[in-house]
Amino acid sequence: MDPQAQYDLITKNLQEVLNPQIIKNVLEVEKRALKIYWGTAPTGKPHCGYFVPMTKLAHFLKAGCEVTVLLADLHAFLDNMKASLEVVNYRAKYYESIIKAILKSINVPIEKLKFVVGSSYQLSAQYTMDIFRLSNKVSQNDAKRAGADVVKQVANPLLSGLIYPLMQALDEEFLGVDVQFGGVDQRKIFVLAEENLEALGYKKRAHLMNPMVPGLGQGGKMSASDPNSKIDLLEEPKQVKKKINSAFCEPGNITDNGLLSFIEFVLIPIYQLKHDSEDAFTFPINRPEKYGGDIIYNSLDEIKKDFAEKNLAPPDLKSGVADAINGLLKPIRDELLENKEFLESSEKGYPVEKPAQQKKAKKVKKIGTRYPGGANANEKKPEAADAAGDAVEQAAKKLEETTL
Contacts of 178 (CB under 8 A, 6+ apart): 22, 23, 26, 34, 35, 36, 205, 206
- Do 21 and 98 share a structural domain? yes
- Do 164 and 43 share a structural domain? yes
The reply to whether 113 falls in a domain is: yes
Q: Which DSSP state fits 46?
A: P
The residue from 338, 368, 393 where one domain ends is: 338
Count of CB atoms situated within 10 Å of the CB of 404: 5
Q: Compute and round to an integer the Cα radius of gyration of the chain.
A: 32
- Do 242 and 140 share a structural domain? no
The CA distance from 43 to 73, in Å, is 9
* Beta strands per DSSP E along 10-168: 16-18, 35-40, 66-71, 113-117
The CA distance from 268 to 281, in Å, is 6
- Do 306 and 174 share a structural domain? no
- Do 255 and 125 share a structural domain? no
* CATH code at position 246: 1.10.240.10
* CATH code at position 127: 3.40.50.620
- Do 163 and 37 share a structural domain? yes
Q: Residue 208 forms beta bridges with which residues? A: 17, 181
Do the bridges between strand 16-18 and strand 206-210 make them parallel or antiparallel, or are there none, so unpaired? antiparallel
Report the candidate in 348, 327, 199 with the shortest Cα–Cα distance to residue 270: 327
- Do 279 and 142 share a structural domain? no
pLDDT tens digits in sequence order for the chain, 404 residues long = 899 999 999 999 999 999 999 999 999 999 999 999 999 999 889 999 899 999 999 999 999 999 999 999 999 988 766 688 899 999 999 999 999 999 999 888 888 899 999 999 999 999 999 999 999 999 999 999 998 888 776 778 788 889 999 999 999 999 999 999 999 999 999 999 999 999 999 999 999 999 988 777 766 666 555 666 789 999 999 999 999 999 999 999 998 898 999 999 999 999 998 888 888 899 999 988 888 899 999 999 999 999 999 999 999 999 999 999 999 999 999 999 999 999 999 999 998 876 666 666 666 666 555 555 555 545 545 555 555 556 556 655 555 555 44
- Do 249 and 159 share a structural domain? no
The reply to whether 33 falls in a domain is: yes
- Do 164 and 36 share a structural domain? yes
Please count the structural domains in the chain. Answer: 2
Query: How much is the pTM?
Result: 0.81
- Do 243 and 187 share a structural domain? no
Q: Which DSSP state fits 49?
A: G
Contacts of 380 (CB under 8 A, 6+ apart): 388
Q: How far from the centroid of its chain's Cα atoms is residue 239's Cα? A: 18
The reply to whether 393 falls in a domain is: no
The residue from 317, 338, 359 where one domain ends is: 338
Contacts of 213 (CB under 8 A, 6+ apart): 48, 49, 51, 52, 221, 222, 258, 261, 262, 265, 266
Q: Which domain range does residue 267 map to?
A: 237-338
Amino acid at 36: I
The reply to whether 121 falls in a domain is: yes
The reply to whether 156 falls in a domain is: yes
- Do 300 and 241 share a structural domain? yes
The reply to whether 202 falls in a domain is: yes
Contact (Cβ atoms closer than 8 angstroms) between residue 329 and residue 270: no
- Do 59 and 172 share a structural domain? yes
